[in-house]
Structure 1
Amino acid sequence: MADTITFRLDEDARAPEVLTKDGTAVSTAVRSAPIDAARRKAGAGTRAEAERLAEDESDRAEAVQVLRDMETLRAW
């Protein structure tokens, strides 16, 4: 069974108006919002990790070596 969450928006929070402007039901918009936020947060974490690895000289050197090793396995 799904959890029920009750919340109140303050006057500055106009998200439901924006999210339902295209005809989307309020309940659908409210359910989708935390899923979208979680995906953005996960994506930000992935981007940060990629940036960290891109700056890691030893990781880049290892990647170059792996590519060299794999080149010998090419059939063409």
Structure 2
Amino acid sequence: MSTLTIRTDAAVEHALAVLTSGGLSRSEAARAAILEAERAHRRARLRAEAEALRDDPEDVAASRQLAAEMDDASAW
């Protein structure tokens, strides 16, 4: 495990005070915040990818064609 050193300002100190008021250490609060930021970043990236696919006429047409083919196959 490595060590991370950051400079904090008044807003970060206030946020840390709120997060650590329940017994969480500053390190635990920082780790949790970094992990949550990464999850939010991943969700945003996946959302952007899904929106791009939704807005791609070729992909929409291919999806509709595949759905129609699956409907035809399930009729048998």
Q: What TM-score bracket applies, with the shorter chain setting the length? A: 0.7 to 0.9
Aligned residue pairs total 75
Poorly superposed stretches of 4+, deviation over 3 Å: none
Q: Deviations over 1:13-39 (max 9, x none)?
A: 232123234443322111111111011
CA-based RMSD of the aligned residues comes to 1.9
- Aligned equivalents of 1:55 and 1:48: distance in 2? 10
Identify the range of structure 1 (59-68 vs 12-21) with the bigger mean alpha-carbon deviation: 12-21
TM-score by length of 2: 0.81
**Secondary structure, in 3 states, of the residue corresponding to 2:11?**
coil
**For 1:47-58, what aligned pairs fall within 5 Å after superposition?**
47-58=47-58
- Aligned equivalents of 1:21 and 1:68: distance in 2? 57
As a proportion of its length, which structure holds more helix? 2
- Aligned equivalents of 2:21 and 2:60: distance in 1? 47
Query: Tell me, which stretches of 5 or more residues in structure 1 are unaligned?
Result: none
User: What's the counterpart of residue 6 of structure 1?
Assistant: 5
Query: Tell me, which stretches of 5 or more residues in structure 2 are unaligned?
Result: none
